[in-house]
Amino acid sequence: MADTVVLYAAPDHLNSMLILAKFISQNHQEVVHVIILSTASISAAATVAAIPSITYHRLADATTSTPPPSHVTNPIELSFEISRIHNPILIEALEEISKKSRIQAFVMDFFCNSAFEVSKSLNIPTYFYFSSGGHSLCMFLYIPTIHETIREDIGKLNDFLEIPGCPRIHTSDIPIGIHFRERNIYKHLLDTAINMGRSDGILVNSFDALEPKAKEALVKDLCTPNSKSTPPVYFLGPLIPESNSKDGVTEHECLKWLDLQPPRSVIFLCFGRKGLFSAEQLKEMAVGLENSGHRFLWAVRSPPPSQEEDLDLDAILPQGFLERTRNRGFVLKSWAPQKEVLRHDSVGGFVTHCGRSSALESVSFGVPMICWPLYAEQKLNRVFMVEEMKVALRLDMADDGFVTAAELEKRIRELMESENGNGVRRRVADMKNAGKAAAENGGSSVVDLEKFMSAVNIL
């Protein structure tokens, strides 16, 4: 019977789990088979079809017969609920896999916390995959301590928290899901943090040189409550997707435009699939870009009904903006091949929403960033990127998130023209090299993978 590692992913995190599967397989395909479980409808099988040591198995959608409670509307809470609903199907899948192979480890996505008791009941070594990075993991494992020591809701405070392995974090930068302890989302997150502390280990998408203080705090058991031992933590990054191509398009028109621009001269603005802006904010961004005097590539997104190909750029952006900037700007409707853009030699800066995947991609290609967080844990990521990693500059924004044209212009000029910007650029270049070294033979991430494989009795 073959030794098998089973990865279990919520649909929104399937792509990151696929990358983890490839990393394991690239280093150990001779000794381990990786099976990926998910309810995702996308054709993940095609993504891994060329890798014999990886199998994708789509679970039946249990929500058709057992829908989530109607009162659950928060997307994060909904992901936890959907995972819970699928536990009976998961049990069947694991039992079936066990008939044909030895399951040496079950690695679950953050949102699949409900599966923790399933794998434990089957006596399968149980691990979490935490794609949000080392600093975020420190904060997350510290939630039970916050719960025990701070009786007031974080959302009602205006203070800084001292969390091991992290710079001081203002309560307004803590993810809103843990602001109010009576809400269900808080209970899900608290329970997940507790289970992480009870697990056999945690795999993290990061590398030692990028987050050394966080790694040290985790190794020294500083983040778990009452000095309990932290499970072994394995930094296995940087794990980034191979391509951002869409519908078979590999040579996007914006890449041809970038080919014509000088090296490191273009500011790239892209905010993920949920990064929508009001018409007022888009106009302000346009003014800031125009006044900065720098070249730019901008993926524009606006709330419904104006989206995707129906977006009327002339109507949304300032009158004459596209004509005035046509020799130094390129504006896209919604989607951009982000990875291909970031790896292009003409790109000299990235205005980002601070999603973890985007930040890791930017670091991996040596592109300094300007932070414009929008939702989820992105304000927290900004703190780490600016103050600890030192790979980005911070945008000042109003309480409602609005950024003025003058502020955007100021930060672009700072990144592209000042010594401070050059310092960030040098730091990112160092991290690019460190990340590459971490993923090579003998590098810190490969060494941590060896430790994980040894812990699950595969090596």
Mind telling me the catalytic residues? 13, 109
Tokens 């409808």 label which residue?
41
Strands (E) located in 372-455: 392-394
Phi, psi of 428 (to 5 degrees): -65, -40
3-state helix, strand, coil in the chain (%, to 5): 45, 15, 35
DSSP string of 385-406, one letter each residue: IIIIS--EEEPP--TT----HH
Secondary structure (3-state) at 201: strand
Contact by Cβ (8 Å): 109, 40: no
DSSP string of 254-280, one letter each residue: HHHHHTTSPTT-EEEEE--TT----HH
The Cα 112–Cα 223 span in angstroms is 22
DSSP 305: T
> Distance between alpha carbon 240 and the CA centroid of its chain, in Å?
10
What residues have CB less than 8 Å from 151, skipping those under 6 apart? none
Contact by Cβ (8 Å): 332, 366: no
Secondary structure (3-state) at 38: strand
Start-to-end CA distance of the chain, whole Å, equals 15
Radius of gyration of the chain (CA): 22
Phi, psi of 316 (to 5 degrees): -85, -40
The Cα 79–Cα 115 span in angstroms is 12
- C-alpha closest to that of 246 among 337, 333, 358, 357: 337
Contact by Cβ (8 Å): 166, 140: no
Look up residue 261 and give its two tokens.
């621009």
Burial of 311 (0-12, 13-18, 19+ CB in 10 A): middle
The Cα 452–Cα 30 span in angstroms is 16
Name the helix (H) or strand (E) containing 14: helix 14-28
